A and B are shown apart, each in its own frame.
Chain A
Amino acid sequence: MSEFLQFVFSGLTVGAVYALVALGFTIIYNASSVVNFAQGEFVMLGGMATVFIFDAGVPIWGAAALAILLTATIGILLNKLAIEPARGASVVNLIIITIGASIFLRGLAQIVFDKQIHRFPAFSGDTPFNIAGATLLPQSIWVLFGAAAVFIGLYAFFTRTLMGKAVLATANNRLAARLVGINTNFIMALSFALSAAVGATAGVLVTPITLTSYDIGVMLALKGFAAAMLGGMGNPFGALVGGLLIGLIEATTAGYLSSDYKDAAAFIVILLTLFVMPQGLFGQKSMERV
């Protein structure tokens, strides 16, 4: 039992990070129908920038805040320089543009930072808690509560503020949103900034546990993408559930079956889910207009 609990803890920790990446996908997808494959790079940038700002002598909170701000700026630039000029391009083109952006950012990180593996100290030390025979790192609690806080914050933003509702309106129908006076270009920039900040937050929270380097983005983007798809693209609740599910599946597979195939289990579950439910767990059935 304590063994199972241990897998649940580690699964939820990783799953929370996947959920944040998936949430980042969802925000951008809803505002622009673009699947941003550079999403994993935001997580990498958040972690790497924090490491380097922290090493320069800035206290950890300041370093984290600066890193998130920096990543949000990069998100805005990505939208301005690569996504906006390509409006109306086909899905395949957009996929290649964002994959190009992710390769570009990875190459840039490799030059600006370096190719080493980095970490910074955990926020509240490394002494683990003992819960029913299983250990839980204090940083894992930071990850879980951080993810929950981001999710609740975003939920409040989208449902309780005028700006959030403007984002939802733009997602729903861009032209109609423009007609009622919403500055859709600003909303797009805001979505990219938000999405990048969410990704960077995930990077800041998880780096003390999983460490970071310039090339961690690819796998995170794939898992986050898969999580978003599993939940049903465009549904924030689906992204959360999808992320946590994939984390749990991975952790239990690694624990009970084979750690070599922990990634495989996640993808098998996604394939099977899509075979039975082509729209994901919570996705809406889309109709094609003829």
Chain B
Amino acid sequence: MLTRIPPRVRALLILSILILIAPMLFPSSFYYRIGTLIFINSIAVIGLVILIGYAGQISLGHAGFSGIGAYACALAPTHLGLPPFLSLILGAVISGLLAWFVGRPILRLKGHYLAVATLGLGMLISMVLNNEAQFTGGPDGMMVASLGLTKGLEGLFDVNLKTSVVWYWFAGVMVLLGAWIALNLYNSPTGRVLRSVHDSEIAAKTVGADVARYKLVAFVISAVYASIAGSMLALFNRFITPDIASFLHSVELVTMTVLGGAGSVLGGIAGATLLTALPQALTVFHEYEHVMLGLIMMLVMIFMRDGLLPTLRKTLTRRAIA
């Protein structure tokens, strides 16, 4: 029966059920916090699925856009008097415009050259956040205003709510929204062009696709996703440091995307779940944390080249046939 449902509806159904069921397994409210962090990372990763998985372009600088989103929410409320929610939108607009502005020259590059150019872009954003201490507080970070979700709901329904629980559902809805847009994009005309660019840029050009424009579209969309994720992280933690824009965070995002299976939205979310939950589990090992993380990155990429989810699916279908 499940096979009759179109794949994108099926993916959304699976995702909603998982989001709904997960809290039943939470032993304490601390797990709502981890769940929220997983959802926030998932949003950035869905953007990268569009860029890396659909269009086949790499970026080692997307954390920069997360940084812009985060600091928009930290700075706009105090300096411009904007409410936090509008600051999130302002951040997304700035990120999108920046991606559009620099995307055209950057996306002409291929492979490793594209990697170094996006890396440079991310580094520049991160340096500005680190150095403009009179605005950003420098490496020490700064406080962020509250989005006011919990207060608002409590006022409406006259109940006592835990912030992490409210955020879990809010971030869960945002992930569903992000996944819905990305899944719809997959089979849209734009999605088809993007995937043809992935397979062969020259072939796509030959059949008349404006390759440069579509690559730019994917770049801008993924930048907006990363920016919104950054804004949400800032508003959720109520505190932000320039680490959010660091090279390592960019690498983390790309690793999540590829680890789960870069081609699919669900794979990306699986990768985000694993890499967000893993460090929490690894804190038991204290100083072995980095060793384990590096080891896992290498092992998955060597033995499951398509990523976790596609490899799992392949093994399962093989079993089913045999």
Contacts and interface: CB of A to CB of B under 8 A. Distances in A.
Interface stretch (B69-77, B186-194, B295-303, B311-319): B295-303
The prevalent SS among residues of A at the interface is: helix
B10 interface: no
Interface stretch (A62-70, A106-114, A124-132, A139-147): A106-114
Interface string B236-269: 0000000000011001001100110010000000
A74 B297 CA distance: 18
Given A82-B298, A107-B293, A264-B124, A96 B119 contact: no
Q: How many residues of B sit at the interface, in one of the four size bands? A: 35 or more
Contacts of A5: none
B127 A263 contact: yes
Interface in A266-282: 267-268, 270-271, 274-275, 278-280
A104 B295 contact: yes
A110 B113 contact: no
A261 B131 contact: yes
Interface in A83-103: 85-86, 89-97, 99-103
Contacts of B287: 107, 110-111
A103 B127 contact: no
A229 interface: yes
B262 A92 contact: yes
B200 interface: yes
B290 A233 contact: no
B13 interface: no
Nearest to A98: B298
A7 interface: no
Contacts of B303: 85
A91 B290 contact: no
A99 B121 contact: no
A226 interface: yes
A222 B123 contact: yes
A96 B258 contact: yes
Contact of A97 (B52, B111, B298): B298
Interface of A: 35, 82, 85-86, 89-97, 99-108, 110-111, 218, 222, 225-226, 229, 233, 258, 260-261, 263-264, 267-268, 270-271, 274-275, 278-280, 288, 290
Interface of B: 52, 58, 60, 105-106, 108-113, 115-117, 119-121, 123-124, 127-128, 130-131, 200-203, 247-248, 251, 254-255, 258-259, 262, 287-298, 301-303, 305
19 contacts: A85-B303, A89-B305, A91-B111, A92-B258, A96-B255, A97-B301, A99-B255, A103-B297, A104-B295, A105-B294, A107-B291, A222-B247, A264-B124, A264-B128, A270-B117, A271-B106, A288-B201, A290-B200, A290-B203
